[in-house]
Amino acid sequence: MADNGKLKLGLYWAASCGGCEIAIVELREKILDLDAAADILFWPCAMDFKYKDVEAMPDEHMDVCLFNGAIRTSENEEIAHLLREKSKVLVAFGSCAHEGCIPGLANLFDRKSIFEHAYLEVPTVDNPEGILPQTSFQVPEGEITIPKFYNTVKTLGQVEDVDYYVPGCPPQAPQIWAVIEAILSGNLPPKGSVVGASPNKTVCDECKHDRVEKRIKKFYRPHEIIPDHDACLFDQGIICSGPATRAGCGALCTQVDMPCRGCYGPAPGVVDQGAALLSAVASVVDADTEEEAARIVGEVVDPVGTFYRFGLPASLLHRRKLGG
């Protein structure tokens, strides 16, 4: 704590969309309470700080750092190490830092294929000389360098020692506030815990739709069906990540008849969220022959993207085979 009794707080974004910052602002008037309780020492998205300001701090100067975003580039990793050094408590904040999230789906590709697509193949790109990003470039004034883009997206926990994980894409405001209150009161669970979410429930436990465990003959993607408002979405053939996902969001998506996409990460005790969801999907298939089963599950478009939408880097296999 600072001399004025306030918490010294840092916030950072690595490979992320900015939604986690919006989620902080979503605290609305409570952000004033946050300001009353904490001094913000670093928040590149909202305030003017430079990396050198952080480098100048003594070690463990900040009480808490909420780190959102995955590790996509060497810059992300370097700042993760720096913030670990300068913070007493490092929190992987949001799905990207927790388990890789949407940026992590790039693990189905590698640097070469991503660069070729983004800088050469996309129809709106005009790049006749086929220039791809270089980590260093000579200009008359000297050498210019940019961070290295890695082949593989990693989670914060895969490159640094993390104290707590706050799941969600983005974390929900009431949950964020509960975490901040827990930090302020010093009432924190054991290191390595997932906080700001349910310790023992899945999204299905919070969902209002009625599950009757129907067997289904056909899978639908959300745009192919107008779902019944009361029946379980899974029972209607819509792949819903609820059974494999940790509760804590209040089942927001299913409230409006959209299937859960799994952003709160694996349910408590689940090793691999995608494998758990795959089993759940297969278990509702109404097929008594191998041919029929193969036909029905063959309708699942993009199994990795569906089952690991938010957690590919944190999954058992982490990424697609390189060079394969």
Partner 1 sequence: MSGNGKDFEPRIVGFLCNWCTYAAADTAGVSRMAQPPNVDVIRVMCTGRVDPVFILKAFAEGADGVIVSGCHPPNDCHYQEGNFKTFRRMPLLEALLQQYGIEKERFHWGWISGAEAPQWAQLVREFTEQVRELGPLDWKRQVESKE
- Interface residues with partner 1 (CB under 8 A)? 108, 111, 150-152, 271-272, 274-276, 278-279, 281-283, 285, 287-290, 293-294, 297-298, 300, 302-304, 307, 315-322, 324
**For residue 54, what are its two tokens?**
């952080």
Distance CA 225, CA 219 (A): 10
- Please identify, using beta-carbon distances, which residue of 62 and 281 lies nearer to partner 1: 281
Query: What do you get for the CA distance between the two ends of the chain, in Å?
Result: 50
Count of beta carbons in the 10 Å neighbourhood of residue 129:
4
Round to whole Å and give the CA distance between 319 and 317. 6
Q: How far is CA 207 from CA 199, 224, 230, 273, in A?
A: 16, 22, 10, 18
Measured from the CB atom, the residue of 134 and 279 that comes closer to partner 1 is 279
CB 132 to partner 1: min, Å: 15
The least distance separating partner 1 from the CB of residue 148, rounded to whole angstroms, comes to: 8
Give min distance, CB of 25 to partner 1, in A: 36
By beta-carbon proximity to partner 1, the closer residue of 6 and 148 is: 148
Q: Residue 322 Cβ, how far from partner 1 at the closest point, in Å?
A: 5
The interaxial angle of helices 173-185 and 30-37, nearest 10 deg, is: 20
Is 195 or 296 the residue whose CB approaches partner 1 more closely?
296
DSSP SS3 for 38: strand
Alpha-helical segments (H) within 72-202: 74-86, 95-99, 111-116, 156-159, 173-185
Q: CB-wise, 32 or 317, nearer to partner 1?
A: 317
Judged by CB, which is closer to partner 1: 151, or 255? 151
Q: CB 305 → partner 1: shortest distance, Å?
A: 8
Instruction: Decide: 264 and 247 in contact? Cβ < 8 Å.
Output: yes
Nearest approach, Cβ of residue 290 and partner 1 (Å)? 5
What whole-number distance in Å separates Cα of residue 56 and Cα of residue 281?
A: 52
DSSP 56-99: TSPTT-EEEEEEESBEEEHHHHHHHHHHHHHEEEEEEESHHHHH
Distance CA 194, CA 265 (A): 10
Q: For partner 1, which is the closer residue by CB, 40 or 275?
A: 275
Q: How far is the CB of 201 from partner 1 (least distance, A)?
A: 21
